[in-house]
């Protein structure tokens, strides 16, 4: 097994599938594992002509020299990764760590809220807060029991874990924002909240904490191309300023983020994404009919 990034790519040493659309890739990259910090991301390419895909680092192990990504197959490239990336294979390229690391306080009580795929990137932050000395409560939300992952992993690094499902099939029934509201109401005082997930989820969590003036950080994932601030594609409005998620973030003050602008930007290329996925589906069908795999 290669011990580092090779001329032929970044080695994939493990894959785990959490659901029909969500999967984990563990990659060997000792230099990146040593450099990575909670809140940062990487940009990956599956092949030389492939799309550059930004993915938040879900875990890293400095001793083992590995970096873990959790991916949801929703577009052309992530679906291609789901079909082609397996243990023993490689990613053509993985660049990072990129972005500003999260600011982790070791004081008080911190609530780390993850919704859906956002559960994965909030894990390093929960672990980091706990290592710094904070009392950490994780609130993890999924649509249903079959989509739950990493519950025990969070229990190993958090003081409390609250599991929520929309349909009540596991944990408490309801949204993560409901659990957050109850935590704030029941006391003791919450000093800080980190929320990562769909924009609507982060927005609601920020509105819940705004009423109580609780510092709230969200992680933004706008359209991104180069990851260096040059293309301007990942610009977001934060208060009265324009920021770039790739170099100024991805963490921002949830009470200042313009979520309407973020949502509009995320929808801008929806038609192009659908067209690319349809083209890839047709290509797969043609290859299957021709017996090429």
Mean pLDDT of 255-276: 74
Q: Could you tell me the CATH number of the domain that includes residue 158? A: 3.40.50.80
Domain that holds residue 48: 10-98
Token couple for 105: 């306080």
Closest CA to 219 of 233, 232, 206: 206
* Domain-located, residue 238: no
Mean pLDDT of 168-190: 93
pTM recorded for the entire structure = 0.84
Closest CA to 61 of 24, 23, 26, 91: 26
* Domain-located, residue 234: no
CA–CA gap between residue 51 and residue 48 (Å, rounded) = 9
Token couple for 100: 């500003």
Q: Could you tell me the CATH number of the domain that includes residue 32? A: 2.40.30.10
Q: pLDDT (tens digit, 9 = 90+) per residue, 7-19?
A: 568 999 999 999 9
Q: Are residues 212 and 117 both part of a single domain?
A: yes
3-state SS assignment for residue 60:
strand
Alpha helices of 62-140 — where are they, by DSSP H?
A: 76-84, 119-132
Look at residue 157 in the predicted model and tell me its pLDDT.
Answer: 95
* Domain-located, residue 201: yes
Residue 212 CB neighbours (<10 A) = 13
* Domain-located, residue 250: no
**pLDDT higher for 138 or 46?**
138
CA–CA gap between residue 109 and residue 194 (Å, rounded) = 11
Q: Are residues 67 and 113 both part of a single domain?
A: no
CA–CA gap between residue 136 and residue 193 (Å, rounded) = 10
CA–CA gap between residue 126 and residue 104 (Å, rounded) = 9
CA–CA gap between residue 88 and residue 150 (Å, rounded) = 23
CB 39 within 8 A of CB 126: no
Least confident of 97-101, 127-131, 172-176, 230-234: 230-234
For residue 44, is pLDDT > 60?
yes
Report the DSSP pairing between strands 135-142 and 160-165: parallel
**Total structural domains within the chain:** 2
* Domain-located, residue 144: yes
The residue with tokens 């040593």 is: 34
Q: Are residues 138 and 193 both part of a single domain?
A: yes
């Amino acid at each position: 097994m290669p011990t580092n990034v090779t001329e032929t790519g970044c080695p994939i040493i493990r894959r785990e599938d959490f659901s029909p659309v969500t999967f984990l890739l563990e990659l060997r990259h000792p230099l990146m594992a040593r450099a990575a910090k909670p809140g940062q991301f990487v940009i990956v390419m599956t092949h030389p002509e492939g799309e550059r895909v930004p993915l938040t680092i879900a875990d890293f192990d400095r001793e083992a020299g590995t970096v873990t990504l959790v991916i949801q197959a929703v577009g052309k490239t992530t679906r291609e990764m789901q079909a082609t990336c397996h243990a023993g294979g490689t990613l053509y390229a993985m660049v990072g760590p990129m972005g500003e690391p999260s600011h982790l306080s070791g004081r008080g009580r911190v609530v780390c809220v993850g919704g859906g795929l956002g559960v994965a990137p909030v894990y390093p932050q929960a672990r980091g807060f706990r290592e710094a000395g904070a009392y950490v409560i994780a609130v993890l939300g999924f649509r249903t029991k079959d989509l739950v992952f990493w519950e025990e992993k969070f229990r190993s690094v958090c003081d409390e874990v609250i599991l929520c499902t929309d349909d009540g099939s596991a944990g408490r029934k309801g949204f993560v924002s409901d659990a957050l509201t109850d935590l704030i109401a029941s006391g003791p005082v919450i000093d800080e909240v980190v929320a990562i997930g769909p924009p609507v989820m982060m927005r609601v969590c920020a509105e819940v904490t705004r009423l109580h003036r609780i510092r709230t950080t969200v992680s933004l994932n706008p359209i991104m191309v180069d990851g260096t601030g040059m293309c301007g594609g990942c610009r977001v409005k934060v208060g009265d300023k324009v920021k770039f998620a790739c170099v100024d973030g991805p963490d921002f003050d949830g009470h200042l983020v313009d979520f309407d602008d973020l949502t509009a930007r995320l929808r801008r290329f929806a038609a192009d994404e659908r067209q690319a996925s349809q083209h890839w589906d047709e290509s797969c069908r043609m290859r299957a009919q021709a017996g090429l795999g």
